A and B are shown apart, each in its own frame.
Chain A
Amino acid sequence: QDPTAAHYMFQDDPYLMPRNSANARLLSLSKESGRNAAKYIIKQFPQYFDKILAEPNVPCLMPVTLTPQLEGVNEEALRERINLRMVKASVDLFDQLLQAGTPVSLETTNSLLDLLCFYGDGESVQEEQREEKEDLEESGVNASEQKTPKRPLQRGPRSSGSRWRENNDAERIFKIMPERNAHSYCTMIRGMAKHGASAKAYDMYTELLNERHKVDVHTFNALIAAVPFLKDKSPERWELVKVFLNHMVQQEVPPNLLTFNAVLKTLRRCGGIGRSMAISVLKEMEALKIEPSLATYEHLLFIFYRAVDLGPSSIISEVLEDVEKRSFTAQDPDDANFFATAMQVCCDLKDIKLAYRLNKAMEKGDNWKFLDMSQLNSYWSKFFSLLCMMEQIDVVLKWYREMPPSLFYPSPKNIVDLLQALDAANHLEAIPSVWEDMKLLGFNRRQDLLEEILSLMSRDTHPEETQLAFAKCAEDIKNVHEQSWREQAPLAWTGSALGHVAVLFSRVGRTQDAWYVIERFQQANRIPTDRVMDEFLNCAKQTNSPDEAIKLVKLAVSLGLSSAHRLKSRAEKEFELSESQR
């Protein structure tokens, strides 16, 4: 692993290598949108791509024909359209069939209902779903200017794009079905729960119970996950969950991992009850010999650590013990959140050893796959902040040399933490190199970072060469404020920034520069502090320029500073002034 290289995705032209996290994200998104654009072209204009030149043919690069082959108003055609996921066409064909009087079999109707319930009211998109991860859908769609309406995000019921309309096609078809079986009810419930019509889902469920149909485990999972939308108070929510679970027992439907994950997800929103019940749920899983997945652990961590500040408990170390031993496979879409939450918990607990263990767990087997690019960045960023807080400076610096840019790009907060760690370890001479990194990352215009770095540099006096280096940084910063570069307007000076820069210049004897900065005070409508004035006088004394001293005194007087008098006397004492100058 080369620590100085960016992620493989970005290795193309060294000039194009992204420098900070925003650029990295932009680059990955643009790559993906390029691919999507290419696919769109192939799809829209297949007539230009009909020459098959490769032997053997590569089917995934060729245009896919997705037009239905069968014509005519019959059930076969309907089935085909359902398979091709053409929602509107299927519904139209179904209506035509009914009008023509041909009965449609229960199975076909059920699969039509499946299709409708899954997609809610939106149209499906007929192309290959994501190959790359990251939330690229929006930008990908925008970039290729697709005409399909807003795609329902397929990340699960919570983030479904479309909502359940009143009396939409699914409901309509459901009502006019001559006979319905358990599957019809189940799929309706799942669809309603997925698209936010939880109350309706519950009503449908009671109807199902009245009809004495058998419910399958997926429907129960959907219902349990929808409980927070059905009830508001935590005790009621928990009671409802227990009701569902008891129904499962009555109907002899065995629960699976997703059932328990749904229970824990609901418990996340149950406050104190969640905490007291969560462990029992876990014990139940163990008793039924269901192995917990990462999503289970993530829910547990959230319940015990994120919701409220409980103080130390051993849950996280036990969770880590379990996670360290296994290499996980994905079983639940929520698995992806585990590592991010766990690292956040480590940061909240300010425990660096836990973080090291978490890193090791992540490197085991396939566990690294659970973090996608953006999560990876924030994971390592938090880890680095924790390092800065808790570890010695040489360890911090070692990590700092190795981690960016291959693992993550430092965020502004990371830079601030690093500066503070350097300060705590009295290692301030490293600041100019940090400034170079800041410029590289593109942070050299951020006011907060500039303030931090300037105040650290100017707070104490340092040996000569450090001071020179500091002055160089100060000059860079001054340029940022003064010159406009490309389209960016020059950054406005703040009083403290001016003061610090002046002090830094004064300390190395760059009188002209210092005077230039001090003049800026008036322009920026700020008043220099006494310290600035004193430093400048010192500087003037060093370089033996009484003119400057007089200019300073004049400025002080003109600004009406209280210290003007003192400065005047000091100037008189320390400098040999000619009579005219007096």
Chain B
Amino acid sequence: STSSVLSTEKDKSTTSTGSTNEVASKSPEGAAETPKQKLLNIIGNMKVEVTTKKKFQQLKTQEIKKQATDKLEGLDSRSSTFQGPAEDAQRSKPLNRELVEAVSAVASSLPRSKEQTESELLAQLRRHEETTDKQRKGGTINIRNVISEMSIKRQSPAQRGVMISNRISLAMEEDGQRLKPDRLSSRSFDSRRYFLSLREGKRLNIFTKAPPETESALKTVSSPTIWDLEFAKEIAAVTDQPPRNGFEEMIQWTKEGILWEFPIDNEAGMDDDAEFHEHIFLEKHLKDFPKEGPIRHFMELVICGLSKNPYLSVKQKIEHIEWFRNYFDEKEEFLQEM
């Protein structure tokens, strides 16, 4: 709940503004821009850092320093001495008013009770003011020593916004599921606002030279080694799932050769170099035979049979005819005798 979150942040009084922002971020996106932006701007102007406990001390000293510089300025120029505290007071007053307005705008857009949230927020702000007053009055004497040893951490407003929003989202996490802001909206504006982001970051700067292209292209000429083959198989196996339906199974079977490819190709698996006319029109091989007579007759019958034979290849058919030719050549002597 809101109050528990607020109470946990009570220790870090300077982070109270974080809680106001938390409320702001809860409200719907469109309307919340103005109060949220306003608050953030206000905070930016206030130069308050929202940090973790570790940096609390640093923060305190920084605040002291800030107040102290004012004081120092005041000390140096007597005339402005009175203006110093007055300025501070003045500065806080309009702040307060703006803040109150923002707080009321935000509280009205919340699903919870308006008055309760308003009062809680205002109480927190008052507490914040008290602590700043306290610190303002504290130690002007040791400032110089403190300052000389200190190193101030500077933050750009954007980064400050990042840290603030991050605290918001941390708080939101405890708050339960329904009040989660829609921080997963894919606006790039939001993705800037977190500590760790894949978009920002520096590179390693190890591989800074442009890679030589020609060399690598030449290298892949050598035949793939067993490493490459096995790696390729492994990669293929990553996405190799059993088929999800009958169609996928049929696709897989077709690839393996178990299923025929459609539309059916009659000559699948059969490699026949010759065209059909070479099978059928075999007369041209009969050139060497006599044009008439029983031999020719016989050979024409042979050709007729061969042309109807689907099992022999063209070469085999030609061989048949050759065999007959040789046979008749040998027997020609006998025939002449007859």
Q: How large is the interface on B (under 10, 10 to 19, 20 to 34, 35 or more residues)?
A: 35 or more
- Inter-chain CA distance A28–B243, complex, in Å, is 12
Contact status B226-A115, CB under 8 Å: yes
A60-B258, A155-B234 are contacts. A8–B201 as well, Cβ < 8 Å? Answer: no
- Tell me which residues across on chain B come within 8 A of A275, comparing CB atoms: 196
Contact status B258-A61, CB under 8 Å: yes
Contact status B197-A318, CB under 8 Å: yes
Contact status B258-A354, CB under 8 Å: no
CB-CB contacts below 8 Å: A332-385 with B: 332-333, 335-336, 350-351, 353-354, 357, 366, 368-373
CB-CB contacts below 8 Å: B205-243 with A: 205-209, 211-212, 215-216, 219, 225-227, 230, 233-243
Chain A 530-545: CB-based contact to B (< 8 A → 1; otherwise 0): 0000000000000000
Give A116's nearest chain B residue, CB to CB.
Answer: B226
Scoring B197, B203, B215 by chain A CB atoms within 10 A of each residue's CB, the highest score goes to: B203
Contact status B240-A333, CB under 8 Å: no
Say if the beta carbon of A298 comes within 8 Å of chain B.
no
Say if the beta carbon of B57 comes within 8 Å of chain A.
no
Give A10's nearest chain B residue, CB to CB.
Answer: B242
Contact status A373-B230, CB under 8 Å: no
A58-B257, A315-B198, A369-B239 are contacts. A280–B203 as well, Cβ < 8 Å? Answer: yes
Chain A 3-22: CB-based contact to B (< 8 A → 1; otherwise 0): 00001110000000000000
Chain A 289-320: CB-based contact to B (< 8 A → 1; otherwise 0): 00000000000100010000011111101110
Interface segment among B68-76, B86-94, B146-154, B244-252: the answer is B244-252
Contact status B227-A118, CB under 8 Å: yes
Give B186's nearest chain A residue, CB to CB.
Answer: A321
DSSP class of B's interface residues: helix, strand, loop or mixed?
loop
- Tell me which residues across on chain B come within 8 A of A235, comparing CB atoms: none
A130-B237, A315-B196 are contacts. A288–B207 as well, Cβ < 8 Å? Answer: yes
Contact status B201-A283, CB under 8 Å: yes
Say if the beta carbon of A81 comes within 8 Å of chain B.
no
- Inter-chain CA distance A196–B269, complex, in Å, is 47
Contact status A390-B196, CB under 8 Å: no
Say if the beta carbon of B170 comes within 8 Å of chain A.
yes
Say if the beta carbon of B202 comes within 8 Å of chain A.
yes
- Tell me which residues across on chain B come within 8 A of A336, comparing CB atoms: 238
Contact status B233-A114, CB under 8 Å: no
Give B208's nearest chain A residue, CB to CB.
Answer: A249
Chain A 117-129: CB-based contact to B (< 8 A → 1; otherwise 0): 0100000000001
Q: How large is the interface on A (under 10, 10 to 19, 20 to 34, 35 or more residues)?
A: 35 or more
Say if the beta carbon of B322 comes within 8 Å of chain A.
no
Contact status B238-A129, CB under 8 Å: no
- Tell me which residues across on chain B come within 8 A of A369, comparing CB atoms: 238-241
Contact status A333-B194, CB under 8 Å: no
Whole-angstrom distance between the Cβ of B249 and the nearest chain A Cβ: 7
Contact status A252-B173, CB under 8 Å: no
Contact status A8-B209, CB under 8 Å: no
- Tell me which residues across on chain A come within 8 A of B225, comparing CB atoms: 111, 114, 187
- Tell me which residues across on chain A come within 8 A of B219, comparing CB atoms: 216
Say if the beta carbon of B270 comes within 8 Å of chain A.
yes
Say if the beta carbon of B199 comes within 8 Å of chain A.
yes
Say if the beta carbon of A284 comes within 8 Å of chain B.
yes
Contact status B242-A218, CB under 8 Å: no
Give A372's nearest chain B residue, CB to CB.
Answer: B241
Contact status A311-B198, CB under 8 Å: no
Give A275's nearest chain B residue, CB to CB.
Answer: B196
Contact status B257-A8, CB under 8 Å: no
- Inter-chain CA distance A61–B257, complex, in Å, is 9
Whole-angstrom distance between the Cβ of B239 and the nearest chain A Cβ: 4
- Inter-chain CA distance A155–B233, complex, in Å, is 10
Say if the beta carbon of B204 comes within 8 Å of chain A.
yes
- Inter-chain CA distance A255–B212, complex, in Å, is 11
Say if the beta carbon of B177 comes within 8 Å of chain A.
yes
Say if the beta carbon of A55 comes within 8 Å of chain B.
yes
- Inter-chain CA distance A190–B169, complex, in Å, is 47
- Tell me which residues across on chain A come within 8 A of B216, comparing CB atoms: 254
Give A245's nearest chain B residue, CB to CB.
Answer: B206
Say if the beta carbon of A442 comes within 8 Å of chain B.
no
Scoring B207, B244, B248 by chain A CB atoms within 10 A of each residue's CB, the highest score goes to: B207
Contact status A218-B173, CB under 8 Å: no
- Tell me which residues across on chain B come within 8 A of A353, comparing CB atoms: 184
- Tell me which residues across on chain A come within 8 A of B249, comparing CB atoms: 8
- Tell me which residues across on chain A come within 8 A of B234, comparing CB atoms: 154-156, 333
- Inter-chain CA distance A281–B18, complex, in Å, is 33
Say if the beta carbon of B191 comes within 8 Å of chain A.
yes
Say if the beta carbon of A50 comes within 8 Å of chain B.
no
- Tell me which residues across on chain B come within 8 A of A300, comparing CB atoms: 198
- Inter-chain CA distance A242–B256, complex, in Å, is 46
Contact status A279-B241, CB under 8 Å: no
Contact status A118-B226, CB under 8 Å: yes
Cβ-defined partner of B191 (8 Å) among A312, A317, A354, A372: A317
Say if the beta carbon of A552 comes within 8 Å of chain B.
no
- Inter-chain CA distance A104–B257, complex, in Å, is 39
Chain B 254-273: CB-based contact to A (< 8 A → 1; otherwise 0): 00111000000000111000
CB-CB contacts below 8 Å: A227-262 with B: 242, 245-246, 248-249, 252, 254-255
Whole-angstrom distance between the Cβ of A34 and the nearest chain B Cβ: 14
Say if the beta carbon of B323 comes within 8 Å of chain A.
no
A115-B226, A312-B170 are contacts. A56–B270 as well, Cβ < 8 Å? Answer: yes
Say if the beta carbon of B82 comes within 8 Å of chain A.
no
Say if the beta carbon of B195 comes within 8 Å of chain A.
yes
Give A280's nearest chain B residue, CB to CB.
Answer: B204
Contact status A317-B184, CB under 8 Å: yes
- Tell me which residues across on chain A come within 8 A of B268, comparing CB atoms: 56
- Tell me which residues across on chain B come within 8 A of A354, comparing CB atoms: 184
A312-B194, A329-B239, A330-B235 are contacts. A7–B244 as well, Cβ < 8 Å? Answer: yes
- Inter-chain CA distance A154–B203, complex, in Å, is 34
CB-CB contacts below 8 Å: B143-202 with A: 166, 169-170, 173, 177, 184, 186, 190-191, 193-202
CB-CB contacts below 8 Å: A97-115 with B: 111, 114-115
Contact status A245-B207, CB under 8 Å: yes
- Tell me which residues across on chain B come within 8 A of A255, comparing CB atoms: 207
Say if the beta carbon of A132 comes within 8 Å of chain B.
yes
Whole-angstrom distance between the Cβ of A135 and the nearest chain B Cβ: 11
Contact status A118-B204, CB under 8 Å: no
Closest 10 CB pairs of A and B: A56-B269, A283-B203, A254-B211, A369-B239, A279-B201, A330-B238, A314-B194, A313-B196, A284-B203, A318-B198
Interface contacts beyond A28-B242, A130-B237: sample of 9 additional A-B pairs, CB < 8 Å, sorted by A: A8-B244, A9-B243, A57-B269, A282-B198, A314-B198, A321-B186, A330-B235, A330-B239, A357-B184
12 contacts between A and B (CB under 8 A): A8-B244, A115-B226, A129-B233, A249-B209, A254-B207, A288-B211, A329-B239, A330-B235, A332-B235, A350-B177, A369-B239, A372-B241
